[in-house]
Chains A and B, each alone.
Chain A
Amino acid sequence: MNYPPAIIAEAMVNGLLTGSVYALVALGLTLVYGVLHIINFAHGALLTCAMFAVWALVTFTGISPYAAILPLALAFFAGGYVLQRYLIGPASHGDDSNILLVTLGLSIAIENALLAAFHADTRNLEGDFGFQVIELGPMLISRPKLIGFAAAVAVAGLLWLLLARTDTGRAIRAVAKEKLGARLMGIEVGHIYGVTFGIGCACLAVAACLLMPSFYVNPRVGNAFVLVAFTIVVLGGMGSVAGALLGGLFIGMVESLGGLLLGDSLGQLGIFVIFILVLLFRPTGLFGARA
């Protein structure tokens, strides 16, 4: 199988663009893991929720999916905060393994609620998003994916600024490693957990807005993304924000090249081969902290 370089390059660029949205999903997952030390099993269901929200908002109000980014991100931040602070947190009674079960239960509840409300049909946005392409030299680049890439990079940059430059961001990083020390400085751990979970949900909302123009939604769609996101988180190092970003771009490229070389149905094979290799040879991930 010999492909002209232009085709390979196009596949790589498209992979990078898809990967940026994967990275956004992984960012939320890794942030919650890094601070709360739990795998949020509801991440996929919440992404599905966000994608339905985008679909409903665009279909019923006619606004652009990109105009939905800010309001949905804010709404999901608030929803995530409330969910963690007043449901997941209290229900777990301070025990991490309980949080795991609570988020798992939550995902089942959300998925079935969506199934009841929207049935199992697959829906996508009306419009010609899929056909909008931009010519870049010899390459054809999907316009929604290019916008997605730019927005994902901007969100990652904002998140970095928040974590590095604000008191709340510093408190998030402080709580991740030293809860008692943080409490003695007057940092409310419950509040910081809520904010962190809220940021994770806001990342999902943005990802949903960027995905919907070129993807479809049904009540189980989020799980496929979270499986990939989980691979990214393991590859980049559990809890590492930079790892999630680079891992996302890399996995996107692997998937795209895999699809080109092995055919669409086997395209994701490469991702899981990498997943197994990372677990075997570098279980802390590329940017993982020392255990």
Chain B
Amino acid sequence: MLDVSGLRAGYGGVEVLRGLDLSVAEGEILAVLGANGVGKTTLNKVLSGVLPASSGEIRFCGETITRASAAHIVAAGLIQVPEGRKIFPDLSVRENLILGSYRRGKPDRARNLEHVLDVFPRLRERLAQMGGTLSGGEQQMLAIGRGMMAEPKLLILDEPSLGLSPLLVEEMYALIRRLNTEGLSIMLVEQNVVQSLEIAARAMILENGACALSGPASDLAANPELKRAYLGM
């Protein structure tokens, strides 16, 4: 459903993505893993149309979106939950969620809101509270809920476990798995290699702006090189 080939992008003269290829199939979780600074967030920005690609091609559900606007990409159903959540701090939880369906999913707004609140009962308790007053974990739930309001065909999650307590991280991964079993395609962009490989169908390791290693998650988990480099074993 998402096919990226030969993608190059960067900031000013500095190239961050150096000819990246990847694909996400319908209904799967693809984990994109890598250390800090290998280009994970840059990749997400290019996919969402907030940073232009310098070359390469991005196809989503049969449509070329390489040069499409961020609004067009959202309308097509490619939704990103960004690193650092980027929720609206002085809008209420309800308004944050409602704005998730600003561009897409508006006709079924009320139904989707109920669904999100069923998935995240904590948000239901805090509906009238300002987004900025939530705890880190609640803000992450809000960011994911806001993304779900847009009825995503593919949901990109950028470091959803960042800054959460180990217990909340567990909860977050359980939730991602649950969303996937309900039929949502997910691209999980993470530094947390072990837990991401547990729930992903396939994975790729990003190094220096290109794919260093990719394959079924179980193969990667057993890969001796990966174990040495990322798991310290």
- Listed in ascending order, the chain A residues whose CB lies under 8 Å from chain B are 167, 170-171, 173-174, 177-178, 180-188, 289
B187 to chain A: closest CB distance in Å? 14
Q: A184-B50, A186-B71, A187-B99 are in contact. Are A170 and B86 (CB under 8 A)?
A: no
- With A180-B50, A180-B82 as known contacts, state yes or no: A185 contacts B89, CB within 8 Å: no
5 extra A-B contacts, CB within 8 A, seeds A170-B98, A186-B103: A174-B91, A177-B88, A184-B79, A184-B80, A185-B99
B:48-105 near A, CB below 8 Å? 48, 50, 69-71, 73-75, 79-80, 82, 85-91, 95, 98-100, 102-104
Measured in the bound complex, the distance between the Cα atoms of B91 and A171 in whole Å is 10
Distance of A102 Cα from B61 Cα, bound (Å): 42
Task: Write the nearest CB–CB distance from A248 to chain B, whole angstroms.
Answer: 22
Looking across the interface, which residue of chain A has its beta carbon closest to that of B76?
A: A186
Residues from chain A with a CB closer than 8 A to the CB of B73 are: 186
Establish whether residues B99 and A167, one from each chain, have CB atoms under 8 Å apart when the complex forms: yes
Contacting residues, chain B, for A177 (C-beta < 8 A)? 88-90
Kindly provide the distance from the CB of A11 to the nearest chain B CB, expressed in whole angstroms.
38
Q: With the chains together, A289 CA to B75 CA distance in Å?
A: 33
Kindly identify which residue among A170, A180, A188 contacts B99, using a CB–CB cutoff of 8 Å. A170
* Shortest distance between the CB of B111 and any CB in chain A (Å): 17
Complex Cα gap A180–B81 (Å): 11
Q: Is the CB of B70 within 8 A of A173?
A: no
Q: A170-B95, A173-B90, A178-B89 are in contact. Are A186 and B102 (CB under 8 A)?
A: yes
Q: Are A170 and B80 in contact (CB under 8 A)?
A: no
| In the bound complex, CA of A289 to CA of B146 (Å) | 25
Q: Assess the A185–B87 pair: CB atoms within 8 A.
A: no
Which residues of chain B from 1 to 60 have any CB-CB distance to chain A below 8 Å in the complex? 48, 50
**Closest partner residue, chain A, to B132 (CB atom):** A177
* Chain A residues within 8 Å of B102, by CB: 167, 170-171, 185-187
* Cβ 8 A contact of A184, one of B74, B75, B89, B91: B74
> A185 near B74 (CB under 8 angstroms)?
yes
Shortest distance between the CB of A31 and any CB in chain B (Å): 15
Is A186 a contact partner of B80 (Cβ separation < 8 A)? Answer: no
B205 within 8 A of A: no
5 closest A-B pairs by CB: A186-B103, A186-B74, A181-B86, A174-B88, A186-B71
Collect the chain A residues with CB atoms within 8 Å of residue B91's CB.
Answer: 170, 173-174
Instruction: Report chain B residues within 8 Å CB of A185.
Output: 74, 99-100, 102-103, 146, 150
Closest to A183 in B: B70
When the two chains form their complex, are residues B87 and A181 in contact, meaning their CB atoms are under 8 A apart? yes
**Would you call B88 and A187 a contact (CB within 8 A)?**
no
Q: How distant is A1 from chain B, measured CB to nearest CB, in Å?
A: 46
A-B contact pairs, 16 of them (CB 8 A): A173-B90, A173-B95, A177-B89, A177-B90, A178-B87, A180-B82, A182-B88, A182-B99, A183-B50, A183-B70, A184-B48, A184-B82, A185-B74, A186-B74, A186-B102, A187-B99
